[in-house]
Amino acid sequence: MTDPVDVLIVGAGASGAAVAWSLAETRMRIVCLEQGDWMNPGEYPSSGRDWEARAYSDMSISPNRRKRETDYPVNDANSPISVANFNAVGGSTILYAGHFPRFHPSDFRVETLDGVADDWPIDYAMLEPYYAENDRMMGVSGLAGDPAYPPKESVMPPVPLGRAGAAIAKGFNKLGWHWWPSDTAIATETYDGRDKCINLGACSSGCAQGAKASTDITYWPHAVRAGVEVRTRCRVREITTNGDGMASGVVYYDQDGVEQFQPAQVVVVACNGVGTPRLLLNSTSGRFPKGIANTSGLVGKNLMFHPYASIQGIFDEPLDGYRGPGVCIWSQEFYETDPSRGFVRGYTYEINRGRGPVATALTGMFSGRIPFGEGHHEAYRQLFSRIAGMVGICEDLPEEHNTVTLDPELTDGHGIPAPKIDYTLSVNSRRMLDHAVARSTEVLTAAGAKDVITEAPIGVGGWHLMGTARMGTDPERSVVNEWGRAHDVKNLFIVDGSIFVTSAGVNPTRTIQALALYIADSMKRRLANLFD
Amino acid sequence: MPDTIATDSPFSDDERRTLLALVGAVIPASADHDMPGADDPDIAADILATARPYHATIAKALKQIVSIAAERYGPSYADLDAAIRAKIAGEVSHSRFAGAGTLVTITAQCYYRDDRVMRSLGMEPRAPYPDGFDIPHGDWSLLDPVRQRGKIYKEV
């Protein structure tokens, strides 16, 4: 047994880093257990000639394809969308593109506005100061004045528009539709020890320049300097409880594979919308036979991805191709509900700048636009640096039959049961995807595209994992309360995307981190009576 | 050029012959563009080294290809006309992540990082880091009509 700690955080990703940094000022003894490693940015793919190939192997977004020792497998055979994640200090921020939108005020009130799902127990105004604090910590680039949002400031100027952004922006303008420079977690100026973006173009395989705000280079250096201890290659098997029904600590396997018990006064779970229910369901006891914090039976239910549509145009003139960050501009023309569209809620378009030479070849060859054999090179040159388009990121509504459970057979390298995903695309999501494909085809055509390649949903696009330990005031209909504490266990907190009530139609990381800061602040304000 | 020797390869001589016949048919050389084929010795060595972890999957696909060739045409796949080899490769490459699709994916990965290929496409033969790339910052006056339209988010 190791020495007891005040706060034990499981997971060093987007939310674990934020909560650790915020709690560090209390001078409590805080330890974070992370199953992955500290990454070495010098070894990221953009440092080598095989930078595109490694996105299909050791830096793949899929843990099942990547198969690092630090990964756990996910059985997602029964889902049209497969799980994407990364296990390291920094978590999935190592591989995310750095799209960094906030939720909108309406996203917290979907039941009131649209009669679906549930309202959140908090709202945009409550979260706004934490969004702003997180923006400073992560270093957000963008342009103030976006008419799709309440007023908000940007820390740095936006990423370049580039040729692709300009072409597609003109398409939006022809149709009279909204677009705006994306808010991004990419430094466009030197910022807090990070260098500015130099348009490497491989953001989703790790940023060798350090311009992209992964939490290993944003929150963690500050948290560690403030006294937080991070233990890597430590995989938590279960959360233990004592006779009072309180969390007593965790059992984990250390870097040598030796089982350890870490006692703690407070346990904070930050393992994402799949890893968190997996851990809770694996933490059974006489008091919690269905898994810890699962009296409601909702742990692992209401899994939400964001179904993505990919719509890529082929243009006559060369655009940005492999150069520049994937993030560029966005459109929220179809964000708020319009009943005439045949679905509720909406989606965001995020414009993709282009793709590299290998991705161009694969896109062309597997869509039939580049032949195998004769004519290959001529067709390739019609696509190279001439593909640009967008993704539509659709709001996914919670449905209890979309679940994370424990696989009866599949385990990780330590024999811990792996997560199993059962997920069905809803009729509302299907209609939204179809709408996104149709409207974006109009935009790309207006922008001058001569052909359009579509995929909806993107099968490998399970980047966003949400809803499986939802937040709420009713213990029968939620897992944690309105400030992240488990209804069943008064010293157990959850701070990642699993506490989302609904998903919104935007990337979740900025909101995940704002929530983590809000929960940490709630804990600090209640330190004297935290367990009441 | 990968740091391997031929004897390290899990691919048998027959598998190598079929594999090289396939990749050379899928991406042939081009005199017009001064580009090698994917069966160029340096590129082929890169493909074989990169394909090593996927040997079982690829070997199974190669066996299927040989079988299709024998059933339809008689001679071994490697002895068929390049156009027929490319046609068969296309038929069995349904997905990037399975069977022959894996081999086609690896072929594209290795081919489009070769110095000669990159130069022919107008690229500098280098990694993106540390030099990076330049892209135009853009004309933000394009936003004027968006600004003029005003707020579009829903008040709650």
Closest-approach residue (CA) in chain A for B2: A50
Beta bridge partners of A113: none
DSSP A174-243: HHT---EEPPBSB-SS-BTTBPPP---S-GGG--TTS-B--TTTTHHHHHHHTT-EEE-S-EEEEEEE-T
Return the pLDDT at B99: 77
The owner of tokens 């973006």 is A197
Chain A residues inside the 8 Å CB shell of B21: none
Interface membership of B31 toward A (CB under 8 Å): no
Residue A415 structure tokens: 């024999």
Q: List all residues 6 or more positions away from A102 whose beta carbon is below 8 Å from its beta carbon.
A: A131, A149, A152, A183, A506, A510, A511, A514
Residue type present at position A279:
L
Percent of the residues in chain A that have a pLDDT greater than 90, as a whole number: 99
Residue A342 near residue A377, CB atoms below 8 Å: no
DSSP state for residue A293 in the 8-state scheme: T
ipTM of the complex: 0.94
The pLDDT of residue B95: 63
Centre a 10 Å sphere on the Cβ of residue A433 and count the other Cβ atoms it contains. Answer: 23
- Residue A457 is classified by DSSP as S
Cα–Cα distance measured from residue A317 to residue A167, given in angstroms and rounded to the nearest whole number: 10
Flag if A372 and B25 touch (Cβ within 8 Å): yes
Chain B nearest-CA residue for A337: B154
Q: How far is B92 from chain A (nearest CA, A)?
A: 11
Tell if the CB–CB gap between B151 and A123 is shorter than 8 Å: no
Instruction: Please tell me which of the candidates A49, A172, A180 has its beta carbon nearest to residue B127.
Output: A49
Condensed to tens digits (0 to 9), the pLDDT of residues A64-78 reads 999 999 999 999 999
Token code pair at residue B62: 């190669």
Chain B residues 61-120 with CB within 8 Å of chain A? 82-83, 85-87, 89-90, 93, 95-97, 101, 104-106, 108-113, 117-118
Q: Give the Å distances, CA to CA, from B72 to A371, A405, B77, B92.
A: 21, 48, 10, 14
Cβ distance A315 to A415 under 8 Å? no
- CB contact at 8 A, B3 and B83: no
Residue pair A307/A457 in contact by the 8 Å Cβ criterion: yes
Element (H, E) at A127: helix A124-138
Residue A512's φ and ψ, nearest 5 degrees, are -55, -45
Q: How far apart are CA B55 and CA A175, in angstroms?
A: 51
State the pairing for strand pair A247-253/A235-241: antiparallel
- Mention the CATH class of domain A5-38+54-72+86-139+148-199+206-527: alpha beta
- Domain spans, chain A: 5-38+54-72+86-139+148-199+206-527
Please tell me the predicted confidence (pLDDT) of residue A1.
61
CA of B15 vs chain A CAs: smallest distance (Å): 20
Q: Which residues of A40-70 are buried (b: 16+ CB within 10 A; e: fewer)?
A: ebeebbbbebbbbbbbbbebbbbbbebebeb
Distance, in Å, from the CA atom of A73 to the CA atom of A292, rounded to the nearest integer, reads 22
pLDDT digits 0-9 by tens, A164-210: 999 999 999 999 999 999 999 999 999 999 999 999 999 999 999 99
pTM score, two decimals? 0.96
Interface test with B, best of A376, A385, A395 (most B CBs within 10 A): A376
Radius of gyration of chain A (CA): 22
Distances (CA, A) of A306 to A63, A240, B17, B21, B118: 18, 33, 44, 42, 36
Partners of B111 on chain A (C-beta within 8 Å) are: 361
Q: Are strands A347-352 and A229-231 parallel, antiparallel or unpaired?
A: unpaired
pLDDT at B5 > cutoff 60: no
pLDDT tens by residue, A435-480: 999 999 999 999 999 999 999 999 999 999 999 999 999 999 999 9
Reported as a pLDDT band with limits 50, 70 and 90, residue B96 is: low
Query: Rounded to 5 degrees, what are φ and ψ at A268?
Result: -115, 125
pLDDT in tens, A345-370: 999 999 999 999 999 999 999 999 99
Residue type at B153?
Y
Evaluate the omega torsion of the peptide bond into residue B145 and state whether it is cis, within 30 degrees of 0: no
In the predicted model, what is the mean pLDDT of chain A? 97
Q: Do B154 and A104 touch (CB under 8 A)?
A: yes
Partner-chain residue, chosen from B113, B133, B150, that has the shortest CB–CB distance to A50: B113
Residue of A nearest to B131 (CA): A198
B1 pLDDT higher than 50: no
All residues of chain A having their beta carbon less than 8 Å from the beta carbon of residue B28 are 373-374, 376
Write the residue in A109, A198, A358 that is nearest to B108 by C-beta: A358
B3 touches chain A (CB under 8 A): no
B43, B111 Cβ separation under 8 angstroms: yes
